Every structure is written in structure tokens, then in C-alpha cells.
Amino acid sequence: MNGVRKKRASRGGRDTDDVLCCCEYINQKGERSHLAACLCDCEDLDEACDRWITCKSLQPEVLVRAIETASDRFRVPWIRGAKKVDLSVLPPLVLLPISLHVAAFHVLLGVVVLSSLPILVIWYYQLTHRRKGKTLLFLSLALFSLGYMYYTFVQEVLLKGHIGWGHFSAVTCGLLLTLLCLAKAKQDPGYLKRSTQGAARGKRERANGVCTAEGHAPRSQTEIQDENVHLITEKNWCTICQVLRPPRSGHCRICGSCVQRLDHHCVWINNCIGARNHKFFILLLVIFQFTSIYGLMVTLSAVCRGRSVFSALFYCPGVYANYSTSFAFTCVWYCAIITAGMGYVLVIQLLNISYNVTKREARIALREKTGRCILGGLVVDTGTFNQGLVQNWLQFLSVDCAGAEQDLPDIV
């Protein structure tokens, strides 16, 4: 080649080997663009604005294209090309501080705002859950809430001399442990690898089922076993991932992968909860509960002196006389709402572990009417894997991914 290296041309006509500067990027059309040109050639945005100004109906496909264009151009300078920023991380960064500051002006505003926030979160969850789409809004809200509440704790409680360094160190250690468990829970939950051997094996197993049998001769024991193998394989074979799933595994439509011992997809950490990270998820909830409750008690003792913690949460005379104390009291109530919600999740998780049932299995059992609701409907006992309280917890604590590649007779 005479020492000359040929460069492949991209769709935009430029060489793909060219190094992008910090403000350049490859847009959704495959063309090279610059951050300074973010307002240029906005046909989709112009069409959407024109329809809105002229009071014409905005077609869904026009709105979708406008949102895709805006999200593709919202980037920050970075090494070797500008990085795309997910727009769903921005609403919590803006709305949460504004909402809490507005709620701190009056008790009625606090009731309205703090009641509206959970409703909005649940509505957005139902919207994204119905579409089976991934979003970073809940993870952004969780992380920003932790950071903002810690900042408020330092600003309004520690720096004003209401507590000592011992309480501050305890809350700080709890926050660091919470973040550490969050990082562990964000790791691989036990994704099943899409292997060509597994696909060929699954197809071969399914070919040995009753569908290949011809005639009406009496079936032998081998044919009956082949029929059972076929039925089990059809149930555990994932047509999307092309993999034979071990027992209790499931396919997550949000992540697009099969997960071993799938419990559920947690939007708060934007990850599935499976065999490898379920224990860290439980530990995350436990540490968060202890840290949050301890922080609430310390803050209430500092803001409402002379009253018990429980009574101060519902009645704290004179707390709205000073904006600083009213804002701290509003943040206490915000933390209390979050703590109550996460506490409910923790209780459900502990009950499911005690009965050796995953959230996915409970949902399937309710849909197929194969389980029974106990404890007021808090847990669904399928009876399939329940071996008693002690054995269930021992099995949960020993769960790993060692058995991901089980043979089909073990599944049967």
C-alpha cells in the first residue's frame, strides 16, 4: 500500500479517523457538528414552534423528532468530542430546590408542595413504566436528594452550632456507606450472556419435543422425557436473547437482557436487581434507613428544642417564624416522606426473602392465580421455593451466579 493508510469516509463525507475537538460531535444523522451550531438547521424544532404559535395541532411524530433533535444537541465539551447529556437528569436539579424553598414559606404551601411531589413521581413512573423505557430521572432525583439534604444538614444545623462533630461524623459515614452500596448495586445483576452454543443447544432441545413425533404409536419413556424437556425448554427459552434461562431467571424488557434470579428493575438505581446485586440492594436500603432516621432525629432535636422527636415532626411551635428553621423543617418532612417510601420497599423485600419469592414471581403468580396473598396482601406465597424462614435466608445469602449454566435435566 506504499505506506499509505486509507481512511474510511463517514456518511457525512468526513474521515472517521479525524480526531474530534472538545466541542465537536457526530450527530444523529452521522454528520460532524459543533456545539456553536446547536441553533442552526433546526427544521424539526422550527416546525414544532410554528405549529404551536399558529395554534395548530402538534402531531406526535413532530414532537418526537423535535425532542430527539434537542436531546441530541444538548451536550457538554469533553475530551475527543462533546458528550451527550440525558435531559431527564435536569428536572430534579431545578425543581427540587425551588419546590422546597417555596414550601418553606408557609405551612399550607408545605402541605401542597410535599403532597404533590410524590404524586408527580408516581405519575412519571407509571408513564415510563408503561412505555418500558429507561430514564435517569429517578436516579438523578435520588442522588441529588442525598446531596442536597446533606448540604442543608451542614448549612442549617452543623454550621450554626446546633450539633457537635460526633453527630456530623455519624451522618457522613452513613452517607458514604449508602453511596458505596449504591455503587455495588449498580454493578452487573447477573446478565445471561448471549452465546451461540446456548442458542444451538436450545434449538436442538426444542427439536426433540413432541412436535417432531409422528404417528400414534404408544410413547416410550424416552419420548415422554423428551416431551417434558420440550415443554420446559419452551418455557425457559428466551426468543429475544436466544439463551436458555436457568430457573427463576427472567427477561427485563427495560434493560433488554435476561437476568439470573430476576427480582425487578429498580428505577431508583436504573438497574435490574438480580442474583449478583440483590444483597447489596438490601444493604443499601438498610443503611439508608438508619442514616436517614438518625439524621431526622438530630435535625428535629436541633430545630424543635424541648420536644420529643415524634411530636416535633407534627407540631413544632414557632418553626415558621424564621425562614432558616422553616426550610430545615421542610427538608425534614421531605426526608420523612422518602424514608417512609423506602421503608415500605424494604419491608416488602424482607418479606419476599423470608418466603423465598421474587417480586417477578409474585407478579406472575397473581396474574396466573397460582399464589396466595398473605399478611394483608404484602407478600404472595407461591409455595414453589419456600423451605422455611431459616433456609430461605440461608439460600438468599448464598446466592451467586455459579449455577447460571445449568444443564436441562437440572431445570426439569
pLDDT (mean) for 319-348: 93
Task: Provide the grid cell at 114.
Answer: 410535599
The mean-pLDDT minimum among 50-59, 134-143, 212-221 falls in: 212-221
Across the strands, what pairs with 75?
84
Determine the pLDDT at residue 272. Answer: 92
Backbone phi and psi for residue 359, each to the nearest 5 degrees, phi listed first:
-65, -35
Distance (Å, rounded) from C-alpha 26 to C-alpha 301?
A: 54
* Amino acid at site 148: Y
205 pLDDT higher than 70: no
Distances (CA, A) of 295 to 69, 96, 156, 332, 386: 43, 19, 13, 9, 37
Let me know: does 387 contact 362? Beta carbons within 8 Å: no
Let me know: does 62 contact 3? Beta carbons within 8 Å: no
Q: Per-residue confidence at 63, pLDDT binned at 50, 70, 90?
A: low
Q: Give the H or E element holding residue 271.
A: strand 271-273
Q: What do you get for the CA distance between the two ends of the chain, in Å?
A: 59
Burial of residue 220 (CB within 10 Å: 0-12, 13-18, 19+) is exposed
Looking at residue 106, what DSSP letter applies? -
Active site residues: 266
191 pLDDT higher than 70: yes
Determine the pLDDT at residue 306. Answer: 79
SS3 249: coil
**Pairing between strand 32-34 and 237-238?**
unpaired
Across the strands, what pairs with 24?
34
pTM value is 0.77
Tell me the chain's radius of gyration from C-alpha atoms: 27
Distance (Å, rounded) from C-alpha 337 to C-alpha 317?
A: 21
Determine the pLDDT at residue 12. Answer: 44
Return the sign of the alpha-carbon dihedral for residues 204, 206, 209, 212: negative
* Amino acid at site 278: H
Sequence-ordered list of residues with C-beta below 8 angstroms from that of 364, at least 6 positions apart, any chain: 370
Q: Mean pLDDT for the chain? A: 79
Task: Provide the grid cell at 97.
Answer: 430546590
Determine the pLDDT at residue 29. Answer: 74
More confident residue, 341 or 207: 341
